[in-house]
Copies of this chain bind each other. A is one copy, B any other.
Amino acid sequence: MADKQIKKIGVLTSGGDGPGMNAAIRAVVRSAVHHGLGVTGFIRGYEGLIDDNAVELNHRSVANIIDKGGTFLKTARSPRFKEAEGQKKAVATLKKYNVDALVVIGGDGSYAGAHDLYSKWKIPTVGLPGTIDNDIYGTDQTIGCHTAVNTALEAIDKIRDTGHSMERIFVVEVMGHHSGYIALQVALGAGAEDVIIPERKFDYQKLYEGIKKGHDIGKISWIIVVAEGAGKAHQVSEKVIEITKFESRYVVLGHIQRGGSPTAPDRILATRLGAASVDCLLRGEHGRAVGVLQNKINIVELGQACTMSIVPIDEYCNLIKTLT
């Protein structure tokens, strides 16, 4: 199939949704149309491939979505697609719609699926990094992470208002099961006093000393950011009360971090990657993941696209301690 000329492509979003997925779909569809290709969208990720849930897309189908959060193609996690049975049905669906190649927008799990389709079923695929966690190999940024960070930051700015007024410690839990990316960014951007991330052990004694020292020079409020994978906000808050004897409150930002109109960097990244994925397929480069490194389009093998940490964690953590 890899040598066959591509006349029609498929596109789907998979895994957790994130802001900018719509912008990516728009770029895929319009690039494809620009190159004379047909496009089929599959609904609810790999589930739509398995269940034959599809929609034909043209230039106008993706009008007015570049600024909308979420994904109009819906998304889902698909345990069934990990089984050969599910993949077989998916391949049959692709054939039914005469789809010659597939663009998958999602995170790690979605990339694994795209890799399977390419390596086991010889379907030309390409993956785009659509996840707010910014934990994909081969790209400096993932689609959605900028918006998630900004949303969390704006929330913490609001919390800081009440923190100052009421003179309290606030523990704020942000998303990130395995990655402290969002936590680090918002902690540095919000001027938070400390950050708790999965990548490093947290020292409550040092936190206590920092709070005591700050208190002595007149500080009256503190923000401690915790990545969900490194601790639960209410437990951290209780621990903080225990060691400092100060009042503490906690907030779990939760799903607001997934939604909202994408910020400029996410729309631009999604647009560039969406167009690049179609170019990649047309050049005959299949089984690849498209990303951006140092502001240039970067293409790697899908099999390589495993998780890695890319944040300068030490520099960030040092700055947080030094500047607060």
- Interface residues, chain A, with chain B CB atoms under 8 Å away: 13, 16-17, 19, 21, 26-27, 30-31, 34, 44, 59-60, 63-64, 66-71, 74-76, 140, 146, 149-151, 153, 155, 157-162, 164-167, 170, 185-186, 188-191, 217-220, 249-256, 258-261, 263-265, 267-268, 271-272, 275, 294-296, 312, 315, 319, 322-324
Nearest neighbor of A168 in chain B, beta-carbon distance: B255
Residues of B within 8 A of A260 (CB): 157-158, 161
Contact (A259, B150) CB under 8 Å given A66-B191, A70-B164: no
Inter-subunit contact B158/A256 (CB<8 Å)? yes
Residues of B within 8 A of A268 (CB): 185, 188-189
Task: List 9 tightest A-B contacts by C-beta distance, closest first.
Answer: A158-B259, A161-B259, A69-B161, A70-B161, A17-B165, A70-B165, A66-B191, A189-B267, A162-B258
Inter-subunit contact B319/A275 (CB<8 Å)? yes
Complex formed: what's the CA distance from A223 to B27 in Å? 17
Complex formed: what's the CA distance from A101 to B69 in Å? 37
- Of the listed residues A59, A67, A259, the one surrounded by the most CB atoms of chain B closer than 10 A to its CB is A259
